[in-house]
Structure formats: C-alpha cells, structure tokens
C-alpha cells in the first residue's frame, strides 16, 4: 500500500538577513518608472531604484549591503 505524503512547505520565511525586500510592502517603491538608468553601482541599465531613489539593481544593492555589513563587522568599535 502506497501512502502519499503531502509535504506542505509552509516555511516561506522572508529572508531579511540575506536579501533585500523590494516588494514595496514597506511602502517604499523601488520601481524606477519603466525607464532604464545606469545603476549607481555597476553602471548597467537598471529598472529599479534603491531606498534613496537612485537607479540600482536589487542584486547590486544586496551585494553592497552585505559588503557594508561585513566591513562594519570587521571594524572594531
Ligand atoms: Zn547594478
């Protein structure tokens, strides 16, 4: 008799530690208005903007945030 197990992956935790939440749920729109402008980090055309409204890729911002966190952690207070 084959029993079927239904696996419900209810653990859809939002990753706030590793990635940025640019979904707009926090009231901040990261949509740059449909025009591509040079990313402030890598210089390639980006549709999105960062928290300050500057053109930026989400991945670039995440990399920057991680780097900043790592740098901050390595600097003794
Ligand atoms: Zn970029």
Containing domain of residue 57, as a range?
37-74
Has residue 13 been placed in a domain?
no
In a domain, 15, yes or no: no
- For ligand 1, the distance from its centroid to the CA atom of residue 2, given in whole angstroms, is 50
Residue 20's Cα: distance from chain center in Å?
Answer: 3
In a domain, 31, yes or no: no
Assigned domain for 61 exists: yes
**56 part of a folded domain:** yes
Q: How far is the CA of 73 from the centre of ligand 1 (A)?
A: 24
Q: How far is the CA of 13 from the centre of ligand 1 (A)?
A: 26
More confident residue, 66 or 11: 66
**pLDDT in the model for residue 4:** 76
Global pTM reads: 0.68
In a domain, 8, yes or no: no
CA of 9 to the centre of ligand 1 (A): 32
The tens digit of pLDDT for each residue in 35-74 reads 999 999 999 999 999 989 999 999 999 999 999 999 999 9
* Overall number of domains in the chain: 1
Residue 57 is assigned to a structural domain of this protein: yes
Query: According to the model, what pLDDT value does residue 17 have?
Result: 59
The pLDDT of residue 6 is above 90: no
Pick from 69, 66, 67, 41: nearest CA to 55: 41
CA of 18 to the centre of ligand 1 (A): 17
32, part of any domain: no
């Amino acid at each position: 008799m084959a029993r079927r197990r239904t696996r419900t992956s209810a653990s859809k935790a939002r990753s706030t530690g590793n990635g940025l939440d640019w979904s707009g749920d926090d009231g901040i729109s990261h949509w740059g208005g449909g025009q591509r402008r040079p990313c402030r980090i890598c210089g390639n055309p980006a549709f999105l903007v960062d928290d300050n409204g500057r053109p930026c890729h989400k991945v670039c911002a995440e990399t920057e945030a991680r780097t900043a966190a790592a740098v901050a952690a390595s600097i003794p207070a």
